[in-house]
Structure formats: structure tokens, C-alpha cells
Amino acid sequence: CKDGFLSLAPISETNNLNFYRNEADMLNAVNAAYASLQFGGVYNQSMYAIGEGISDNTEILDAQSGIDISQLDAFTTLSNNGIVSETWNDHYRGILAANTVLDRIGTVSMNEAMKTRFSAEAKFLRALLYFNLVRMYGDVPLLLKETTDVTEGYTYTRNPASEVYIQVEKDFTEAAQALPASYSGADVGRATSGAAKGLLAKVYLTQKKWQQAADKTKEIIDAGTYDLLASYADIFRINNKNHKESLFEVQYKKGGFGLGSPFNNRFAPRLAGVVVTTIGAGTGHNLPTADMNRAYEAQDLRKDISIAQGYTSGGTFVQSPYVRKYMDPAPFAASDADNNWPVLRYADVLLMRAEALNELSFSTSGEALLILNRIRKRAGLSDKTSEQLNSQAAFRLAVEQERRVELAFENHRWFDLLRTDRAIAVMNSKGFNIQSYQLLLPIPLTQIEINPSQIKQNPGYN
């Protein structure tokens, strides 16, 4: 009686003593790893704050929209910046979820095919999260197993970025081999082999492994699984999720489940009231810069699909550009809309191939130019000619420009500038006098303070 009286287990929470027993538990554990993608420190905020906000694509107009995000936008980021630490923490929370699946699944008695798939999904997610981390922070600690004792946490130091890339390639490669090419019904939206290959191609491209990038993209193209949608607008329509052009999306569903996408409110101008959002206030994040507004060619069909120039309030039009790609005309509640987030789509894969081919050897009228014009054609633009793109350098800039407008506000711009070593030149030309240390984020101050002997700051930051 005595011990029973004192052994009280949580009533309203699952605890880890009686979990990870069977296939159903492991499925829940894998799903939880996917759910990490919706953390504020991953795709719900950090990835656009860093992928777009830092870059010349978007800006923050007033402090009301958040000091942390303003710092990122203005290159005045301090090491105590809240987004910097949330990004770090949430990526590692996701990595823990993936590692837990990989550590625990071995001893679970379950269908072997499912075991293989679950492991591959976990590897895919782990690789994606580490790929984000290494691009944002440089060297990062590489944890590949579930932490069961917190003291283990103090023993890890930052691994060189090269080691992280090796692991990311390994995970994506293994995932690409084990994952199915597609899913049906209720499983649509899970990681596919195509998604793993596409992201692997991006990992190669980021490391300037041009040949591997070209090969991997070709593999995807040749498989014929994916294609460009005829209409650019269809890519973002909320009733057209996980379409043929999509390799991987973060899935959202509105309806009060806590699983809706927040971008409808995040990207709406702060003073627009509910005119833009339908429900709830706008946060004024990720507002297109004037420079971005000018970046589109005159006939580009993509501009109006991507950017709204303002809103009408009280009968008058208020000039206040905002990102339109993720607007849901009928959200369930504030920050509870239905838009998925495109992590990787086929247009990106095509442009990656064009870029890799151009880097391998410039050709005035090769496949690279065909790809570029294929993308432009859908946008209603005329072909670039080989006279216009008469050098490798010119073609590079054309791809950069095309990527900017084609993939606008999809969290690629800053990483593209970093990858192509163009960040300093481009940002300086836009009036930001940035220095090379600012190409990486600071390591969160709290993490250095907790474990100062192992975790050191990136140079240039305090």
C-alpha cells in the first residue's frame, strides 16, 4: 500500500517509461519529428526571418514587429537575440525527436518494412535540420543519439562544418535509398526519396560539388515524378497541396488544432487590421523591400502572385507591400490558416541543375539555358538569348536573378547568396555595410554561458 500510495504517474501526460513499445508508438514518434518543422525556431518563424529577412528580399519596418527580427533584418544581431536562440533550440529539439526514433526503433518488434521507412524518415528530418543549422551557424555540435542523461550535453563541442556536411550527405543518401518515391492517401506529405535526393542535390550545390549536384538533379528529372505546374499561382493555392511540382512541404491544417500556418498573419502589414488577414492582426514580418518590388521584369506574372502592393481600408488604397503567397482567404483563426510551406519544389531542382551545369562548363545554348527559359516561359517572360547570357558570369547572375523572383519568399534568398559567395557584395550594394563575420549567426549567448568550455562564439560576435 505504501509504495502504491506514493507512486503516482502523470495523469494528463504520457511518460517515457511506458512508451516506444510498438509500431503505433513509433509512428507517433516519427510524426512528432515531422511536427518539429512547425516549431517557431524552424519553419514557423526562424527560417523566413533568416532565409528572407536578413537578405535584400524583405524587411521589418518598425520595432513593434519585434526587436529580435529587426536586429536580423538590420544586421545588428546580438548573441542574446531571441530568434537566434529559438532557432538553435528548436532545431535540436527536432534532432532529438529524430534521434529518439533511430535509437529506440531497433528493439521494437514491428513490421520490418515500416521499420526501414520510419528510420529513413527520421534520417531525412535529421539531415534537413542539420543542413539548416550548418548553413546558419557554421560549425555545430553533431548529436546522433538520444540524450538520456543531461550531463552528456556538456561533453559536446562544435564539430567542423565539414563533418556536419558529411553526416547530412550520409543521412540524405540513406534516406533516398530507403524512402518510397511517393505515398498515397493519408501518408501524402511524408518524406519521399525524391525529396531526399533534391535536398541532397542542394547540399552538394552548397558545397560546390557541381558534378554530384548535376547528377543528383538529373536523377530526379529523369525519374519523371515531378513537373512544373502550368500556372505559377497553383503552386501556392491552399487546395492544391503536395502537387506535382512539390518535393517537400511543411504541412499545415487550419481548424483549431494548433496545426494551422501562421504566415497569413505574420506577413500582413501591422496597420491593416483584418483587411488583409480576415482574422487577427498582422505582424508586419517579411515585408518585401522596394528593391524586391523592382526586381521583377515588367511582364512577370509571378510578381502579383507573390506581392500585394497594399490594401484598401475605408475606401482608400494604402500603399504597403506584403507577401501574398501565403494568404488564406478564409483562415480559421488568427495564425490558423491552411497554407503549406514549400521547402523544395521542382523549379528549384531545375534551377539547381542549370547552375551546376554552368559551373561545370559554360555553354551558350546548352541544357542550362533551356532550363532557365523553361522557368521564364511559365512566368510569361521572353527567353533569354545566348547573346544576352554570353559568359559563365552572366549566366550565374541570370540564375541568381531567376531564383530570386521564382523562389521569392520561400526561404532561399539568403542561403543562395551565402552559397554563391555573393552575400557581401549584394548586401553592400543595397546599402548594408556588412562584414564577413555576419554571414553566420552568433551562437546563442545562453548556450555559451551554460557550457563555456565547449561552446565558443563565432568570431565577430560578443
Partner 1 sequence: IFFLSAMAYAHHTPAQELLNRGVSLKLSSVSLREALNKIETNTKVRFAYSSELLKTTEPVSITARNETLSSVLDRLLKPYDITYRVVNSQILLSRSKKENTAPQPAELPQPNAPETTDRVIKGTVTSNDGKEALPGVSVVVKGSNIGTTTDMEGQYELSVPESSAILVFSFVGYISRETPVGNLSQINVILQADIKALNEVVVVGYGTQKRGDITGAVASVSAKDIQGLPTPSLDGALTAKMPGVYVAQSTGTPGGGLSVRVRGTGSIGAGNEPLYVIDGFPVTADYSQMSNPLKALNPNDIESIEILKDASSTAIYGSRGSNGVVLVTTKGGKAGKMRVDIDTYTGIQRVTKHMDMMNASEFAQYIKDSRNNAWVDVGGNPNDPNSARSAIYQILPALQNPESLGEGTDWQREIFRQAATHNVQLTLSGGNENIRYMTSGGYYKQDGIILNSGFERYSFRVNLEANASKKFKIGLNLTPAYTISNPTNSEGHWADGGIVLSALTMAPHLPVYKEDGTYTTGLDLGNGFSAIENPVKLAKERVNRMNELRLLGTVYGEYKILNNLTYKLLLGTDLQNSGTKTFRPSTVGIGGALPPVIPSGSNENRSSYNWLIEHTLAYTKSWNKHDFNILGGFTAQKAHSDYALINSTNFPNDLVETLNAGIVSSATTTATEWSLLSFLARANYSYASKYLLTATIRRDGSSRFGENNKWGTFPSVSAGWRLSEEAFMKDLPVVNELKLRASYGHTGNNFIGNYDHVGLIAKRNYVFGTGSQTVVNGLGPNRISNPNLSWEKNKQMDVGLELGLFQNRIFLVADYYRKITSDLLLNVPTPSITGYTSARQNIGKIENKGWEFGLTTRNIDKAVKWTTDFNISFNRNKVLSLGPSGEPLYGNYQLTSSHITQIGKPMGNFYGYQAIGIYMNQEQVDNNPKFADSKPGQLRFADVNNDGRLSSDDRTILGNPQPDFIYGMTNTVSFKGFDLNVLLQGVQGNEILHLGRRFYANYAGTANGLKEMTNSWKSEQDPGDGRTPRVNRDLNRYTNSNASANISSIFVEDGSFLRIRNIALGYAIPPKLLEKAKLRTLRVYVNLQNPVTWTKYTGYNPEVSVQGAAPLEPGVDYGGYPIAKVYTVGFNLGF
Cβ-in-10-Å burial (0-12, 13-18, 19+) of 209 comes to: middle
- Indicate the residue among 164 and 407 with the shorter CB distance to partner 1: 164
SS3 32: helix
At its nearest, how many Å lie between partner 1 and the CB of residue 22? 13
Residues 25, 31: Cα–Cα separation, whole Å? 10
Residues 90, 42: Cα–Cα separation, whole Å? 6
- Indicate the residue among 104 and 396 with the shorter CB distance to partner 1: 104
At its nearest, how many Å lie between partner 1 and the CB of residue 192? 12
Q: Name the amino acid, one letter, at 316.
A: T
Cα 391 to chain centroid distance, Å, stands at 31
At its nearest, how many Å lie between partner 1 and the CB of residue 252? 6
Look up residue 190 and give its three cell numbers.
511524408
At its nearest, how many Å lie between partner 1 and the CB of residue 303? 23
At its nearest, how many Å lie between partner 1 and the CB of residue 140? 8
Look up residue 279 and give its three cell numbers.
482574422
- Indicate the residue among 17 and 298 with the shorter CB distance to partner 1: 17
- Indicate the residue among 95 and 213 with the shorter CB distance to partner 1: 95
Q: How far is CA 440 from each of CA 50, 157, 201, 274, rounded to the nearest angstrom? A: 10, 18, 22, 36
- Indicate the residue among 344 and 356 with the shorter CB distance to partner 1: 344
**Contact of 65 with 422, CB cutoff 8 Å:** no
- Indicate the residue among 9 and 230 with the shorter CB distance to partner 1: 9
At its nearest, how many Å lie between partner 1 and the CB of residue 333? 6
Q: Which helix (H) or strand (E) holds 345?
A: strand 341-345
Helices 392-406 + 367-378 axis angle, to 10: 30
